[in-house]
Structure 1
Amino acid sequence: MTSYGQFCSMARAHEALGGRWTLLVVREILCGSSRFNEIRRGIPRISKTMLAERLQALVLAGALARRDGAQGPEYALTEAGLELAELVRAMGAWGQRWLPRHAVGEDLDLEPVLVDMQRRVRFEALPEAPLVVRFEIAGHGPRFLLLRPGEASLCTQNPGFPEALCVRGPLSALVAWWRGDVGFAESRRFGLSLAGPRPLAAAFPDWFQLYAFAGIRPARAVERTSP
């Protein structure tokens, strides 16, 4: 790769970190992923080859440390890598505040939404008995989120617990709620539905901490979005 040829530390950092996908890899590790497949689950469009290259580049830059774990290689942020959290947060906040949000017109994947929901469960708010939330999102196969005290697991098949709730509707409506564009009640107007016992359905939105930047409002009132 041709160097920018600049003394500036910002330019030098961009040479090391500015490649496509790189900061998304950092984001996933900041969110708790440590193994190759875990990281890729949150970035489903990255190829295995590209992810391997980005991980290696971050190791060479000193932002990641690689070690051999019981189930294969594991990655952890170094002191230098942890300092990137401020950059990731700043970019996330900027995008939430300044970029238009119209989920219905965006090219979106289901997997990153469900992965984020899985890792932002409020366990103290869950019922005591284990349960499964079934997701029937238009254009996608069914997915299952097992919830029980201390565990949230995302599965392609029901792991054997009662399906207490079923979330149905377009992905755009689910994204609009999760991202904080609209409230859960408002998302129903755009096609999101929740089937199941009324007490559980009423409690469902409180089982999660919304997307980390959901509380950041658009910079201009005119950019108030619809799914």
Structure 2
Amino acid sequence: MRLPYALLAAATVTIGLAGCTNTSSTPTNAPAPTTTNVPANGTQTQTEGAVNQPTPKATEPVQSDKPTVQKKTVELVFSDDNLMTEYKETHTISYEKKDDLPLLALKAWQNGPKSKKLVSLLPASVEIQSVKKDGHTAIVSLSSNVKQAANLGSTGEQFLMEQIATIMSQFGFKNAKIVLDGKETDTILGHMDASTPIDPLTLSNVPQIK
């Protein structure tokens, strides 16, 4: 029995469409392939999952604000234990600021000599308060308790004042004036005039202790 022509044509078209269907298409949930960028020089650079590492900084040297400690040699003057003769003795003073040197030298002098043949005339209970500059004169302020602490006669008071002036002469001062608690005084221990500056000893004439 012959099929009608129209029915035969429709069957032919259906068979043709079925033959064109792609049965091996990639599923929609398949992962995308990883890609790499290849520069012109041939080196491969991964573009997915790369981690940017920070560039390490160069270590900078640590700078200290603390001043450098320096040293200076100073001749300190002391008396023998009989208050007969004055001697010089070489000491090394450590300092950070040059302006502090005169005060530091006087405090080293107050601490006493290295030689057991010499003595310090300024008791430890007396405070050396300050050293100020007035022209070419060093104004050295002592605490007023020096009157009670220093048991010295006229020679001892003279030696004490001369030694202070001689030490100050090594720091550019022409002479020295001693004041008590920052105020001028006529005398320190009641024997010598302290109202005017006292001249230093000629350091080259002061014998070195042996």
Does the TM-score normalized on the shorter chain lie above 0.5? no
TM-score under structure 2 normalisation? Answer: 0.23
Q: Which has the higher helix share?
A: 1
Greater radius of gyration (CA): 2
Report 1 or 2 for greater relative contact order, CA contacts < 8 Å, sequence distance ≥ 6.
1
TM-score under structure 1 normalisation? Answer: 0.22
Q: Which has the higher strand share?
A: 2
